[in-house]
Amino acid sequence: MTRALATLATATAAALAAAGLLAPADLDLAVTLLVYVTIAQAWNILGGYAGQISLGVAAFVGAGGYSTGLLLLHTDAAWPIALAGSGLVAALVALALAPALLRLHGAYFVVGTLVVAVALQAFVLTWDWAGGAIGLTLPFDALPGSAALFRAAVAVCALTLAATLLVRGSRFGLRLMAIRDDEDAAAGLGVSVPAHRLGALVLSSALTGLAGGVLALQLVSFAPDGMFALSWTLAALLAVAIGGGGTFAGPIVGAAVVYYGLTRQLDDLETLSLALEGALLIAIVRLAPRGLWPRISDWLIDAGVARGRRDHRQRAGR
């Protein structure tokens, strides 16, 4: 874990340093990709490691995005403060909803999270102080430049990846995985199931909220239709389905595939991308329940393309 964290720190430092070298258009693209990776990895903490499949991603993207937007519009807060506020508010929303959501298990948790997302969107649509259906336009003077926004997106993404590594290597994470694999057995061994589920929900929601905050700063002008869109939930679910849940690299690979393979290619073809995403979800659960990427990497290893890697694995005794 220490080595992985050191690698992550090096990569983060390199990305922060590279901000000055990239053109604004590239920075803009990178920010979106980093938001996708953050959302997918935050979903992975809750869905992949803790086994709590959520369709409520959009609720926390929206809560985060609107918090940052409202803080910038109605207070004198500088944008980094407003961004931090998105994580805090999303965590508070998760805490407020936890009594209802954590009563639900398995498939009913899924439905509960879906209701939360749709309910929050419906509420913000009627909330005039937050712009109602028209949405918000952020004051231009208060916004960060493209390099600064890129650095913020890198920081948020690095924080999420570090959190995932820490979850994966900690007692907390092992207990989450125990709950995922057999909730009754974990409880029988003395794991406090409600406390751990709450921890995973709040952590995942806070990170998702931060991604929403970055998104708000990037979009400048947004409405509930986009900020609370089901497509955020779908992007996270697809990224993890493609990359494989409960792994560190999976959601990163999956988010890149979803963003470059689907979202950008099919930007103007809404119907086709919806059909493709639906078909992909069905195909993955039917043919590759562990995710597409583990399937492909297994196949590569078996085909001998990555023979060296296998030898290395065997030497390492795995």
Partner 1 sequence: MSVDAIVNGVLVGGLYALAGLGLSLVSGVLRLVNLAHGATLVAGAYAAYLVLDAVDVDPLVAAPAAMVAVGAIAFLLQRYLLTDLMAAGPQAPMIATFGLALLVEAALQGAFSTDPKSLQAGYATAGFDALGVRVQSVYLVAFSLAFAACVATHLVLTRTRQGAVVRAAAADPGMAAALGHDVRRIYALTFASGAALAALAGVMTGTAQSFGPASGFGLLLVAFAVVALGGMGSALGALAGGVALGVIQAVGVEVAGDEYRDVTVYVTFLVVLTVRPAGLAFRGSE
Binding footprint of partner 1 on the chain (CB under 8 A):
53, 55, 97, 99-101, 103-108, 110-112, 114-116, 118-119, 122-123, 125-126, 230, 234, 237, 241, 270-272, 274-275, 277-282, 285-286, 289
* 15 vs 237 by CB, closer to partner 1: 237
Q: How far apart are CA 204 and CA 249, in angstroms?
A: 17
Q: How far is the CB of 28 from partner 1 (least distance, A)?
A: 28
DSSP 227: H
Residue 103 or 313 with smaller CB distance to partner 1: 103
Q: Which is nearer to partner 1, 81 or 111 (CB)?
A: 111
Is residue 63 within 8 A of residue 90, CB to CB? The reply is: yes
Distance between CA 136 and CA 216 in Å, rounded?
Answer: 9
Q: Which is nearer to partner 1, 132 or 169 (CB)?
A: 132
Sorted by sequence, the CB contacts under 8 Å of residue 4 that are 6+ apart come out as: 165, 248
- List the structure tokens of 72: 């910038």
Q: Are 253 and 40 in contact (CB under 8 A)?
A: no
CB of 146 to partner 1, least distance (A): 33
Nearer to partner 1, 15 or 101 (CB): 101
d(CA 116, CA 82): 23
Residue 222, classed as helix, strand or coil, is: strand
Which CB sits closer to partner 1, 19 or 229? Answer: 229
Compute the distance between CA of residue 293 and CA of residue 300 in angstroms, rounded to an integer.
10
Least Å from the CB of residue 23 to partner 1 = 35
Alpha carbon distance 318, 304 (integer Å): 17
Find all residues with CB under 8 Å of 78, minimum gap 6, and list them. 142
Comparison of 210 and 229: residue with beta carbon closer to partner 1: 229
Provide the minimum distance between the beta carbon of 231 and partner 1 in the complex, in angstroms, as a whole number: 10
User: Minimum CB separation from partner 1 for residue 106, in Å?
Assistant: 6
Q: How far is the CB of 76 from partner 1 (least distance, A)?
A: 31
Nearer to partner 1, 83 or 117 (CB): 117
CB of 185 to partner 1, least distance (A): 16
Query: What is the C-alpha separation between 307 and 220, in angstroms, rounded?
Result: 49
Residue 62 carries which side chain, given as an amino acid letter?
G
238 sits in which H/E element: helix 230-243
Of the pair 29, 281, the CB lying nearest partner 1 is at: 281
Q: Percent helix, strand and coil across the chain, each rounded to 5?
A: 80, 0, 20
What is the smallest separation between the CB atom of 280 and partner 1, expressed in angstroms?
Answer: 7
Q: Which residues are CB-contacts of 225 (< 8 A; sequence separation ≥ 6)?
A: 121, 133, 135
